[in-house]
Amino acid sequence: MGAHLRKDIGDEIPLFLGVLNGCFRFASDLISNFEGPCDVSFVKVASYEGTNSTGMVKRLIGVDETVAGRTVVVLEDIVDTGETIEQIIFDLESRNAKRIIVATLLFKPDAYEKDYTIDHVALEVPNEFLVGYGLDYDGLGRNLNDIYTLDLELEKRMKNIILFGPPGAGKGTQSEHLINSFGLVHLSTGDIFRKNIKGETELGTLAKSYMDKGELVPDDVTIRMLESEVERHPEAKGFIFDGFPRTEAQADALDAFLERKNTTIFKMVSLEVKEDELVFRLLERGKDSGRADDANEEVIRNRIAVYERETSIVADHYRRQGKFVSVDGVGSVEAISERLAEALA
Ligand code: AMP
């Protein structure tokens, strides 16, 4: 584009006028590929309510007086509806620029609503949200070296987190903090089973026979129960899955279920705690939790063994998907929730 502009401009010394903030990388690369002398300046477009027919007036900040009588090359990162570029041209005309040339890195023909011809376009792009190479989304992404399409649908989707770790790692405690920070629905399969045991339901009776021994409740029962719990919260912004999935089959079922709901797991965060500390914590908890499976050291050790044998491999499932994060689960509740918040940022 530098060479095209050189040809277009002829012998004039142009004033390159970059439109901030998005243009900074494009402007820098373009100008360094432009042969011959030139002036460089930058403007910002401010908008405020006005009284003209559109109700909106845009104003340029940072144009100096040297515009009069000059060939001005406006450098834009992207021309979308054309609203901004129209205002810039209007402003430069009123400052008596001799000639106005518009050069843009990206142009969205499907979104453009104006008559003014854009003189130089590096790339025509579809009407999607783009980020990178100077372009931002909510202030982020300008430093990316390439340009990406932003999946806004994905942004709007639920944030589903798996809180992972052996029994006694602190998943329940940390869930409370996560609920407060992210406004998610907490689903603990252990809690749901215990509620069923208390309510003396059929599911409760079945689950109890496994839980009392520290064994896992069969996958088909657990998966069905989990799915119906998710369905009970159609308005949820996302879920914290606590104690689920505990087997490869549950992980596969969860992935497929979420995919059917047009969402996915955001991250699996695993709280890492050594076995002796787990046993100590669970026995302490057993003193007042009223949980039969916390009161007996043999059952506790079996739960940890079941975790090692059947559950720990679920971490690999999400590691392969690039969603696994490990967090040190030893320390104060506050320190651990800070680590979790960092891991989920
Ligand atoms: P928790 O409260 O997560 O420690 O779970 C207590 C017990 O409930 C476990 O030892 C299992 O017997 C049963 N349980 C909880 N979640 C699951 C699951 N996802 N799959 C199979 N059994 C589970």
Is 56 a residue whose pLDDT tops 80?
no
Q: Is the CB of 185 under 6 A from ligand 1?
A: no
Atom 2, ligand 1: which residue's CA is nearest? 190
Mean pLDDT of the region 249-258:
97
Average pLDDT of the chain? Answer: 91
Q: Is the CB of 82 under 6 A from ligand 1?
A: no
Share of the chain above pLDDT 70, in %: 94
More confident call, 32 vs 183: 32
The pLDDT assigned to 61 comes to 79
The amino acid that residue 152 corresponds to is L
- The answer to whether residues 43 and 19 touch, using CB atoms and an 8 Å cutoff, is yes
The pLDDT assigned to 336 comes to 96
Q: How confident is the model at residue 32 (pLDDT cuts 50, 70, 90)?
A: very high
Is 57 a residue whose pLDDT tops 60?
no
The pLDDT assigned to 302 comes to 96
Is 36 a residue whose pLDDT tops 90?
yes
The amino acid that residue 89 corresponds to is I
What the chain holds in terms of domains, given with CATH numbers, is 2-150 (3.40.50.2020), 154-343 (3.40.50.300)
Atom of ligand 1 nearest to the CA of 188: 3
Is 53 a residue whose pLDDT tops 60?
no
Is 195 a residue whose pLDDT tops 90?
yes
Is 83 a residue whose pLDDT tops 60?
yes
The pLDDT assigned to 52 comes to 40
More confident call, 315 vs 180: 315
Instruction: Say how far apart CA 65 and CA 332 lie, in whole Å.
Output: 61
Which tokens in the block code for residue 301? 């050790």
Q: Is the CB of 23 under 6 A from ligand 1?
A: no
Which of 174, 192, 217, 301 best tests ligand 1's pocket when mutated (most atoms within 8 Å of CB)?
A: 217
Q: How confident is the model at residue 51 (pLDDT cuts 50, 70, 90)?
A: very low
The residues, any chain, with a CB within 8 Å of residue 177's CB and separated by 6 or more, are: 333, 337, 340
Q: How confident is the model at residue 201 (pLDDT cuts 50, 70, 90)?
A: very high
Task: State the angle between helix axes of 275-289 and 297-306 in degrees (0 to 180), rounded to the nearest 10.
Answer: 130
The amino acid that residue 201 corresponds to is T
Q: Is the CB of 75 under 6 A from ligand 1?
A: no
The pLDDT assigned to 66 comes to 81
Q: How confident is the model at residue 289 (pLDDT cuts 50, 70, 90)?
A: confident
Mean pLDDT of the region 305-318:
96
Q: What separation in Å is there between the alpha carbon of 186 and the centre of ligand 1?
A: 15
Q: What separation in Å is there between the alpha carbon of 321 and the centre of ligand 1?
A: 24
Q: What separation in Å is there between the alpha carbon of 191 and the centre of ligand 1?
A: 8
